[in-house]
Amino acid sequence: MRQDGGVPTPYEPATVRAAAAAPEPVPAPSRPPLVRSRAAGWTPGVCEAVARHLGVSRRLVRLAFVVLAVSGGAGVAAYVFLWALTGEEDIAPQDEPGRRWSERRRWLLYLAVGVVIVLVGLALLVPGVGVDIRGSFLVPVVAIGVGAVVAWSTLDDAQRTRWLSSGPGGVGWLRVGIGSILALVGILALMTRGRSVTVVWDAMLAALSVLVGALILAAPWAVRLWSDFRREQVAAARATERADIAAHLHDSVLQTLALIQRQSADPQAVTRLARAQERELRTWLYDGPTGSQESLAAAVTEVAHEVEDVHGVPVDLVVTGDRPFEQHGVALSRALREALLNAVRHGAPPVTAYVEIGPSGVEAFVRDRGTGFDLDAVPEDRLGVRQSVLGRMERHGGSARVRRREDGTEVELRLPPIEGEPT
C-alpha cells in the first residue's frame, strides 16, 4: 500500500500508521516543485502537476478545478494560468502520488485556502446571501488569489525556506503577514466598492491591491529568473575555467611528459624536466598570476629556480620574511646566484639555501655537501667568483664569508637593513 516508506499520513489506517511509526523517524521529504510532466498524455498535465506538488489525490484537484470553473470561470482562468506558466520536465507520471505532508501548518493553510475558495464560490452562486457582488469583480480577485498561491508554490521548498528565513528575526514572516493583510484589504475594497467608502479612497485601495497583487505575483518569477541567470553564469564561468586549465595543462605538463618520454635514457634530463615542470605547475596553482619582481623574497626564489633549471641540481631554498626589492637586494640576489652556481658546479647535492630577511638586515646561507676542498687547490676562476661575491657584498655595505666544513662549503652573505627603517 505504501509505495515510498514516507511519513505516515492521515489518510492511512491507524494500524498502518503504527507500523510505519516503528522505524526511526524519516526526515521530512521535500515537496517536488510544481512542474508538469511531459509524458502526461493528451492533457497538459496541470492537474497532475498540482496533485504531485501538493501531495493530494489527482481526482481531488480535478474536482476542485471543475467546481471553480463552474462557479464563474475562476477554475478555467487558473488552469490556463498554470498551463502557461509552469515548466515541463521529464517525470514519469504517477498513478497515485505519495501523499506527503511535511508540516501540519501547511495542511491547515491549504484547508483555509480551500474554505475561502468554497465560500467565495458560494457567494457567487447565491447572490442573495447578503453580499451583493458581481462576477466581474470576483473573478479578478479569485484569479489574483489563486495566482499568488500558485506563484509562491512554484518555488520549491528549499527556495521558499530560504526566503522565509532570510533576514534577522522573522522578517520573512512579517513580509508574508503584511502581504496577506494588504491582499485582504484589497479584496474587501473591491467587494464594498461604491457603497460605504468614498470613491477616491476606494480607487486608491483598488489600485493598491492590484499593485500588491502584481508584486506578489512578480516576486517569485523575478527570483526564478535571477537564479536561472546565476546558474547559467556559474556554468559558463566553470566551462571557461575548465578550458583554461586544459589549455595550460596541454602547453605545460603534456609537453613536458612528451619530452621526458623522449629523453628517458638520460636520468639527469628527466629530473631537470620534472623538477622545472613541478615548480611551474606549483607556481601556477598556488601563487596566481603575480610573478612580480617587487619583493626580495620573490627575486631570491627566482634566482634559485634559475640555477636549478640551468644545472639540473635541486636547490632547497627556505626564505623567511620579506622586504622591497631595491639596489642592495639586487646585489644580494646576484651574489646569491654566484654562490648557488658555485655550490651546484663544485659541490655535491643536496644544495640548501636559507635567506632570512628581518629588521636587522638580510642573511643568506648557501650550503653544499662537497667533500671539502683545499683553498690553495681552488682554481682561479672559482676564487675570482668568490672575490666577486665578496666585493659585491662589501660595496653594498654588507659582507660575505666562505666557510669550509667537514662535509661541504657554506657561503654566508649579509646585508644591513634598508636605510630609514627602524632596526
The footprint of other proteins (CB under 8 A) covers 282, 286, 314, 316, 318-321, 350, 352, 354, 356-360, 365, 367, 405, 410
Tell me the chain's radius of gyration from C-alpha atoms.
39
Residue 269 C-beta: closest distance to other proteins, Å:
18
| Grid cell locating 329 | 637586494
> 87-89 and 35-37: which strand pairing?
parallel
Residue 141 C-beta: closest distance to other proteins, Å:
54
H/E segment holding residue 274: helix 267-282
By beta-carbon proximity to other proteins, the closer residue of 155 and 355 is 355
By beta-carbon proximity to other proteins, the closer residue of 138 and 411 is 411
Residue 254 C-beta: closest distance to other proteins, Å:
19
Residue 284 C-beta: closest distance to other proteins, Å:
12
Residue 320 C-beta: closest distance to other proteins, Å:
4
Residue 206 C-beta: closest distance to other proteins, Å:
58
Residue 183 C-beta: closest distance to other proteins, Å:
47
In this structure, are residues 269 and 263 in contact, taking their beta carbons and an 8 Å threshold? yes
In whole angstroms, give the CA distance from residue 405 to residue 257: 39
Q: What share of the chain is helix, strand, coil (3-state, %, to 5)?
A: 60, 10, 30
By beta-carbon proximity to other proteins, the closer residue of 151 and 357 is 357
In this structure, are residues 136 and 206 in contact, taking their beta carbons and an 8 Å threshold? no
| φ/ψ (deg, to 5) at 384 | -60, -45
By beta-carbon proximity to other proteins, the closer residue of 44 and 408 is 408
By beta-carbon proximity to other proteins, the closer residue of 114 and 321 is 321
H/E segment holding residue 361: strand 361-367
Cis peptide before 422, with omega less than 30 degrees from 0?
Answer: no
By beta-carbon proximity to other proteins, the closer residue of 157 and 309 is 309
| Residues 6 or more apart whose Cβ sits within 8 Å of residue 215 | none
By beta-carbon proximity to other proteins, the closer residue of 269 and 274 is 274
Residue 157 C-beta: closest distance to other proteins, Å:
27
- Looking at beta carbons, which pairs linking 281-288 to residues 24 or more positions away fall under 8 Å? 281/252, 281/253, 284/248, 284/252
- Looking at beta carbons, which pairs linking 228-233 to residues 24 or more positions away fall under 8 Å? none
Residue 316 C-beta: closest distance to other proteins, Å:
6
Task: For the chain, give the number of residues.
Answer: 423
> 315-320 and 87-89: which strand pairing?
unpaired
In whole angstroms, give the CA distance from residue 307 to residue 164: 61
> 399-405 and 408-415: which strand pairing?
antiparallel
H/E segment holding residue 144: helix 135-154
In whole angstroms, give the CA distance from residue 119 to residue 107: 18
Residue 369 C-beta: closest distance to other proteins, Å:
9
By beta-carbon proximity to other proteins, the closer residue of 401 and 405 is 405
By beta-carbon proximity to other proteins, the closer residue of 267 and 358 is 358
First to last CA, the chain: 83
By beta-carbon proximity to other proteins, the closer residue of 79 and 325 is 325
